[in-house]
Structure 1
Amino acid sequence: MARSTARAAAAKREQILEAAILRFARQSYEDTSLRAIAADVGVDVAHVHRSFGSKELLFAEAIRATTRPERFLGISPGLLAATLSTELLSHKAPRDDDEVGAFDIVMRSLSSREASRILHDSALADFIEPISKMTYPSSARRAALIAAVLLGIGAVREVLTIEPLLDTEDGEVQQLTVQLLNVLIGDRPYDVAARAAEGDDR
């Protein structure tokens, strides 16, 4: 009985999160209320508070759910550029009207001081700090530049829908993105050694 109750609570929490993602992606942080999110799911606003604690924590969770940093953390640094570029370019652009993209919440919230603070903390904790450990030399500046490149390309493709970046079927956009990211990631010592060994074999 307790297990089924826990499953139902987890399912309801997921519904609340999905409703919040849709709200935060389509309107500003200030215009999004917990009461409206609760109404979308058909629960009392107190249920939203019990599930997430506050609007700020729910917003942070919505950002994490759409960006999903776990997709690229813990992989080999040598695969980081290809993984990031694949994730960035795998979404169809322009998207259907009912689709939510990873950059929608960010773009809707940049003008909000409160939301920008949460975005700042999320970017540091979920991306810049872990990615900085994968660059060589280890550098928060390199990781921040990687974040800026990804955000810029994503915004140009998914928000502004600029034509040259929409057609990715020939692979050139991904190839150039990988090259750019690899410059920022830097050469790991073993990568340098592997290249030297390849040179010796020739």
Structure 2
Amino acid sequence: MLDLGQRPLCSASLVLRPRGILGGRNPMLEHGTTAKRSDLAREAALAAAVRRFSQQSYDQVGLRQVAADASLDVARVHRLFGSKEALFAACVRRAFGGWNWTSTDGRSLAQEIAQDLLVEREAPEGDPLQMLVRSVSDPHAGPILRAWCEESFLEPVARILRSGGRPVSEAEVAERVALVAACCFGIAVMRKVMAVPALAKADASALSRRIEHLLSCPLVIEEAPHSSPEILEPAS
């Protein structure tokens, strides 16, 4: 059941200060056409929700908290998104975005992903990796995160694998793609969330080459070796 109640924050360090609030109202939402105000309200709610979900787990965040942070009425947030699950799904798409890979084969894709993993990105609204680790085990949020992963990461990689190299079964493609995702998300979490020094402080160029080598194993599908023709012994 959707929880619209106000829940206590885990600790004082997680208290979020609402932005753009003046006397309990957001003046930016009081001008313009109805459609424009609706767009502004949606943006305000999304930004507030991304911050919340980046600092608290899915079950700790309520629509009332998001509405208060965005200076909106909770009923309006509910009308804009329909449910907490739909709001979280919109936050996942907004926070993680997608990848604009240009590679058409596994070898170049390994290089492109390795470089992309080490790009430092600004996250003014909230850290998507924090959103992932805080809510991936939740029975409501987990399926949403998996659906995003399948649509935005697994399937694009699978399409590239299917288009090159020797023909492989769908089961093998799925296994290879899952290994790539496991490597990428594992590296990202250990480097950015856990701040493991060996990864967080590594030379970016050298680390990129090692990640590329690691990803090449599942991404590069070599042609099957040709077997040597059988040599028949002369009949005695």
How far residue 183 of structure 1 moved from its aligned partner, in angstroms, is 2.2
Maintained 8 Å contact 2:118/2:204: no
Judged with a 3 Å threshold, the aligned counterparts in structure 2 of structure 1 residues 16 and 86 are, in CA distance, closer, same or farther, namely farther
Letter in 2 for 1:102: P
Structure 1 equivalent of residue 45 of structure 2: 16
Give the match for residue 95 of structure 2.
66
1:29-56 per-position Cα deviation (integer Å, ceiling 9, x unaligned): 0000111001000001121122222111
CA distance in 2 between counterparts of 1:143 and 1:72 reads 17
Aligned: 1:127 with 2:150: no
Alignment map for 1:37-186 (pairs within 5 Å):
37-69=66-98, 71-72=99-100, 75-78=102-105, 79-91=108-120, 100-136=126-162, 137=168, 139-186=173-220
* 1:81–1:178 Cα contact (<8 Å) kept: yes
Q: 1:113 is paired with a residue of what secondary structure? A: coil
| Structure 1 residue runs of 4 or more that deviate by more than 4 Å after TM superposition | none
Q: Is the 8 A contact 1:145 1:184 kept in 2?
A: yes
Instruction: Pick the structure with greater CA Rg.
Output: 2
Name the SS for the 1:65 alignment partner: helix
- Matched letter for residue 64 of structure 1: R
After alignment, is 154-163 or 140-149 more displaced? 140-149
Q: Which runs of 5+ in 2 are unaligned?
A: 1-31, 163-167, 224-236
Say whether the 8 Å CA contact 1:168–1:174 is kept in structure 2: no
Higher mean C-alpha displacement, 46-55 vs 34-43:
46-55
TM-score when normalising by structure 2: 0.68
User: What is the distance in 1 between the residues matched to 2:204 and 2:155?
Assistant: 33
8 A contact 1:52–1:58 mirrored in 2: yes
Question: How far does residue 66 in structure 1 lie from its aligned partner after superposition?
Answer: 1.7
Q: Which structure has more helix as a fraction of its residues? A: 1
1:77–1:134 CA contact under 8 A, matched in 2: yes
Contact 1:128-1:143 within 8 A present in 2 as well: yes
Match of 1:27 in 2: 56
Counterpart amino acid of residue 72 in structure 1: N
Query: 5 Å matches for 1:189-200?
Result: none
Pair 180,23 (structure 1): closer, same or farther in 2 beyond 3 Å: same
Of all paired residues, the percent bearing the same amino acid is 33
Give the gaps of 5 or more residues in structure 1. 190-202
Distance 1:173 1:44, change over 3 A: same
Per the TM alignment, residue 77 of structure 1 is displaced from its structure 2 partner at its CA by 2.7
Q: Retained in 2: the 8 A contact 1:89–1:168? A: no
| Partner Cα distance (1:51, 1:150) in 2 | 33
Q: Alignment length, in residue pairs?
A: 182
TM-score, normalised via structure 1 length: 0.79
